Amino acid sequence: MHRTLLRALPFVLATALAGPALATDVAMGDGAVHFTVPDGWTLIMQSSGDDESQVFQVPGSSNADATLARVSVTMKKANNLIAFQQFSGDMRNRATSLKEYAAGKPKAPTENVYTAKEGTVKLDYYERYFFTNGYAVQLRCVRPTGDAKFAAAFDKGCAAVAASMPN
């Protein structure tokens, strides 16, 4: 009996110390930028270098939503505010070249809101820009339009990521 308890002890301790997992901590820029994403979001792409990115697929209410709904974080070294403004300006200009781009109404100057098409699917885009720890950071949330229940859950997750970004 004592041997069984001793063998199980490491597993029990590890499980107890882990606690409930509600969000996943993500580090980028050699640990300079940390943020969290909701559990259940799957990392589907990651790049490193001068421009570093991570893209997460967000589970949806339908197969179409699940394959199209995604959140990306892209960052680039920015030594000053001018470099940050150049980065955000370049990213905003890229958005205008998307098929059927239509600007929305952002709530803040660090946001970009618009719709565009990917193939035949109309998508809602929300971008937010951060200047932190020597990096320009873009948070980009993309989801299909039209499913209010899914949109509410998706937007809540996107807002949680934005709230976890260092300012």
Residue 131 pLDDT exceeds 80: yes
Give me the pLDDT at residue 28, please. 94
For 94, the domain range is 21-164
Structural domains of the chain, count? 1
Domain CATH code at residue 80: 3.40.1000.10
Q: Is residue 9 part of a domain?
A: no
Q: Do the strands 70-77 and 51-57 form a parallel or antiparallel pair, or are they unpaired? A: antiparallel
Which of 121, 123, 119, 92 minimizes the C-alpha distance to 106?
92
Mean pLDDT computed over 148-153: 88
Determine contact, residues 84/90, Cβ cutoff 8 Å.
no
Residue with tokens 């820009």: 129
Q: Is residue 13 part of a domain?
A: no
Q: Is residue 57 part of a domain?
A: yes
Residue 138 pLDDT exceeds 70: yes
Give me the pLDDT at residue 129, please. 97
Average pLDDT, the chain: 84
Mean pLDDT computed over 18-41: 81
Q: Is residue 6 part of a domain?
A: no
The tens digit of pLDDT for each residue in 43-95 reads: 999 998 888 999 999 987 675 666 689 999 999 999 999 999 999 999 999 99
Tell me how crowded residue 143 is: count the other CB atoms within 10 A of its CB. 24
Q: Is residue 141 part of a domain?
A: yes
Confidence grade of residue 96 (pLDDT, cut at 50, 70, 90) = very high
Q: Is residue 15 part of a domain?
A: no
Helical segments of 81-122, H only:
81-96
Q: Is residue 12 part of a domain?
A: no
Q: Is residue 14 part of a domain?
A: no
